Amino acid sequence: MTKITKLKTGSPFEDQASYSRLVAVDNWIYVSNTAGRNPQTKLIPEDVLEQTLQVFANIESALKAVDASLADVVCSRVFIQDPKDVPAVMGLIGEKFRGVDPASTVTCPPLGSTVYKVELEVTAYRNASKAQVDVIRLSQ
C-alpha cells in the first residue's frame, strides 16, 4: 500500500494556502518552494547568500524529518528574483550539491515578495545517495 507523509512546519502560510512543506509518497519526496525565512526568528536575511543558506537549512530540516538528505535530491528548481544574483547564488548551490548533481532549472521570475531574493524547490528520492550512479558524458 502506498504511504503518504505530509510535513507541516507550523508556518501560517501552509494553513493559509493549504499546502505542506514536504510530501513524501513512498520514497519520492517533494519539497515545496522554500524561502529563506528562519522558522525560529521569523526573519529573512537581506543578503542573498544568507537567504540561500537559510533556504538550504529549511530544506535540510524537512528532508531529515523523513529520513532523507540533500544527497538524495534528484531535481532542483531555483528561483532568483534579480538576475544579477544568479552567479553568486549558483556558486553556493553548486557547493551544496557538489557530487549530488541533480537535474536543475534556474529562472528569474518575480517572487511572492521583493523581500524574497531566492527560493528553491526540490524533489528527492529516499536513499538515492546510496544508489549506483552511472554518469554519461555526451562531450568532453
Rounded-to-10 torsion of CA 73, 77, 81, 82: 90
Compute the average pLDDT of residues 42-66: 97
pLDDT at 24 > cutoff 90: yes
Radius of gyration of the chain (CA): 15
137 within domain boundaries? no
Compute the average pLDDT of residues 5-24: 92
Over residues 56-110, the pLDDT tens digits come to 999 999 999 999 999 999 999 999 999 999 999 999 999 999 999 999 999 999 9
Q: How many domains does the chain have?
A: 1
pLDDT at 54 > cutoff 90: yes
34 within domain boundaries? yes
Residue 45: the pLDDT is 96
133 within domain boundaries? no
Compute the average pLDDT of residues 26-37: 96
136 within domain boundaries? no
Domain containing 123 — which CATH number? 3.30.1330.40
**Burial level of 29, CB count in 10 A (0-12/13-18/19+)?**
buried
Residue 13: the pLDDT is 84
140 within domain boundaries? no
138 within domain boundaries? no
Find the domain containing 62 and state its range: 2-128
7 within domain boundaries? yes
CA atoms within 13 A on the CB side of 101: 6
